[in-house]
Amino acid sequence: MLVLGIESSCDEMAAAVVEDGRRVRSSVIASQHDIHEEYAGVVPELASRAHVERLTPTLRRALRDAGVGLGDIDAIAVGHRPGLIGSLLVGVAAAKALAWSLGKPLIGVDHIHAHLYAGCLDRDEPELPALGLVVSGGHTSLFLIERMETPRLLGRTIDDAVGEAYDKVATILGLPYPGGPALDELAQTAGADERAFDFPISRLDALLDFSFSGLKTAVLYAVRGVPQRGDRGGRGGGFPREASELSAAGRADVAASFQRAAVGAVLGRVEAALDGPAAEARAMLVGGGVSANSRLRAQLEALAAARGLDLRLPQIAYCLDNAAMIAGLGFHLLQTRGADDLSLRASPASAL
Ligand code: KG4
Ligand code: ZN
Give the mean pLDDT of the chain. Answer: 94
Candidate of 110, 296, 320, 325 to mutate for ligand 1, largest count of ligand atoms within 8 Å of Cβ? 320
Choose among 144, 98, 116, 139: nearest CA to 4.
98
Which pLDDT does position 267 carry in this prediction? 97
In 7-152, where does DSSP find H-type helix? Answer: 33-36, 44-66, 85-102, 111-117
Query: By alpha-carbon position, which residue is closest to atom 2 of ligand 1?
Result: 289
Which pLDDT does position 66 carry in this prediction? 98
**How far apart are alpha carbons 16 and 307 in whole angstroms?**
34
Candidate of 112, 136, 160 to mutate for ligand 1, largest count of ligand atoms within 8 Å of Cβ? 136
Closest ligand 1 atom to residue 296 Cα is 24
Strand duo 283-287 + 130-135: pairing: parallel
Which pLDDT does position 230 carry in this prediction? 63
Confidence band (pLDDT; 50, 70, 90) for 312?
Answer: very high
Instruction: Give the pLDDT confidence of 138-197 residue by residue, as tens digits.
Output: 999 999 999 999 999 999 999 999 999 999 999 999 998 889 999 999 999 999 999 999
Choose among 204, 208, 202, 236: nearest CA to 220.
236
- Residue 8 beta carbon below 6 angstroms from any ligand 1 atom: no
Q: Which ligand is nearest to the CA of 161?
A: 1
Choose among 144, 142, 146, 272: nearest CA to 203.
272
Question: What would the DSSP string read from start to end of 131-168?
Answer: EEEEESSS-EEEEEESSTT--EEEEEBSS--HHHHHHH
320 C-alpha to center of ligand 1: Å?
6
Which pLDDT does position 5 carry in this prediction? 98
Using CB atoms within 10 Å of the CB of residue 120, give its burial: 0 to 12 exposed, 13 to 18 middle, 19+ buried.
buried
Closest ligand 1 atom to residue 111 Cα is 6
137 C-alpha to center of ligand 2: Å?
7
Closest ligand 1 atom to residue 319 Cα is 1
- Residue 83 beta carbon below 6 angstroms from any ligand 1 atom: no
